Structure 1
Amino acid sequence: MAGFARARLRRVFVAGSESWREYGPSPLPKVLQGALRVFAEHGYEGASIRDLATAAGLSVPGMYHHYRSKQEILVSLLESALTDLIGRCRSALASAGGEPIARFDALVECLVRFHMFRRAEAFVASTELRSLEPGNRDRCVTLRDELQRMVADVIEAGCAAGVFSTPYPADAARAVSTLCVGVATWYREDGPLAPDQVVERQLVLLRSLVGLR
């Protein structure tokens, strides 16, 4: 089993340079990049419009020219992060084809890479959902639920095909998402593991979690 898993993982890493694996500088506009730094460091409640304007190199009136409120800035950040991740996950699944293990591996790799290379976005998206007003929260929860549905569908398909043996696919799906999100809290670019090594280790752990036969 261990040899089979290693062989499968090697195929994942030589599969090509699909765009969902690629991360360059943040595509966020300057205003949102500044806000992201402030929210990540001080939290939504601890940030003022003046703090956000300063981080963006703007005056307070200049900030209001771009966004009507601090709440609108937070919504823009969360929607940007979630839609980026959803798009990458869709591309990862499309590149994986129809085989359940390949789809699981691609989705996990995509989630792990996002939480390594977009750590601040992932952190703010996971911790500041509580700060959204009801209507805004509903929009972002819908996006988050779409991501979770992708994970659940892949695991359920693997169970139906007899590839995964977990008796609790719904619980396994939640656990997979939680562990992938958790990467953002501990991964560091100057840490002992290269990104591919992090992905490989997470795949070993998460394959065991779903009961890969």
Structure 2
Amino acid sequence: MTVVNVSPRRKELIRVAARLFVDEGFDRTTVRMLALEMNIKSGSLFHHFRDKQEILCAVIEEGMHNALSIARTALAEAGCSPQARLDAMARAHLETLLTDRNAHVVALYEWRRLDGDSRAHLVHLRDAYEALWQQVIDEALEAGLIRGDKFLVRRFVLGALNWTVRWYDPDGPRSPEALAKELVAMITPPEAAESP
């Protein structure tokens, strides 16, 4: 199954579908609703996608590709310091939420709606993203920046960052950078932050 496609029309359909899946939920979003939003006939959707399941897969895939790209760029620019890399990953995650919120929310809340083939197609992207986090967390644990079981720390950090889609206001008092720094500070013991 190859879902990524550079067609501008297809990309627009993916963006519209992501918004509808967030607003209405995957199950309640119909092909007719998607076509109406795009101002096309329902049958025209099938020039781009086989079915609604493939649309869901495309939404999540595009979001995951974007998240991986943002995270890899952030890590490349962060250098070798475990603290800088942890901060960079947190900022990158929040940037993903802000720049591609709908796709991220769909991935979080509609993953369970994927059929087996779609899940198998996407799992390597999810695993690649989680592997970046695990590497950064392993480095932070080894440097003494954070403490705890690496599996639980990763789940806790990603859970906290993911939950910001529900409450974070980009027009509020905290910038994404400030929020990322504060969230990382919550899991970093003060003595670790003070050490060189």
Q: What is the TM-score when the length of structure 1 is the normalising length? A: 0.79
Alignment of 1:186-205 (within 5 A): 186-205=167-186
TM-fit CA distance, 1:81: 0.2
Q: Extract unaligned runs of 5+ from structure 1.
A: 1-27
RMSD: 2.2
| Aligned mate of 1:60, from 30, 39, 42 | 42
1:208, 1:68 → 2: CA distance?
A: 51
Q: Is it true that 1:107 corresponds to 2:102 in the alignment?
A: no
Matched residues in 1 for 2:184 and 2:162: separation?
14
Deviations 1:47-73 (A, max 9, x none): 111011111221112111121111111
Pick the aligned partner of 1:34 from 10, 13, 16: 16
8 Å contact from structure 2 (residues 146, 189) kept in 1: no
Query: 1:61-113 CA deviation, whole Å, 9 max, x = no partner?
Result: 21111211111111111000001101111111111111211111111110122
AA aligned opposite 1:67? F
- Following superposition, the deviation at residue 193 of structure 1 comes to 3.0
Q: Do residues 155 (structure 1) and 137 (structure 2) align? A: yes
State the Cα distance separating 1:165 from its structure 2 match: 4.3
Query: Contact 2:86–2:184 (CA<8 Å) still a contact in 1?
Result: no
What is aligned with 1:126? 108
How many percent of aligned residue pairs carry the same amino acid?
Answer: 26
Distance 1:201 1:117, change over 3 A: farther
Q: Does 1:81 align with 2:63?
A: yes
Structure 2, unmatched stretches of 5+, are 1-9
Structure-2 change in CA distance of 1:208 and 1:119 (3 Å): farther
**What is the alpha-carbon distance in structure 2 between the residues aligned to residue 50 and residue 180 of structure 1?**
34
Contact 1:33-1:56 at 8 Å conserved across structures? no
Contact (CA 8 Å) 1:105, 1:203: kept in 2 or not? Answer: yes
State how far apart, in whole Å, the 1-side matches of 2:73 and 2:137 are: 18
Aligned equivalent of 1:13: none
The question of 1:50 aligning with 2:32 is answered: yes
How far the C-alpha of 1:208 sits from its partner, in A, is: 4.5
2:188 corresponds, among 188, 207, 210, to 207
The separation in 1 between residues aligned to 2:164 and 2:189, in whole angstroms, is: 17
* 1:180 matched residue in structure 2: 161
Residue type matched to 1:167 in 2? G
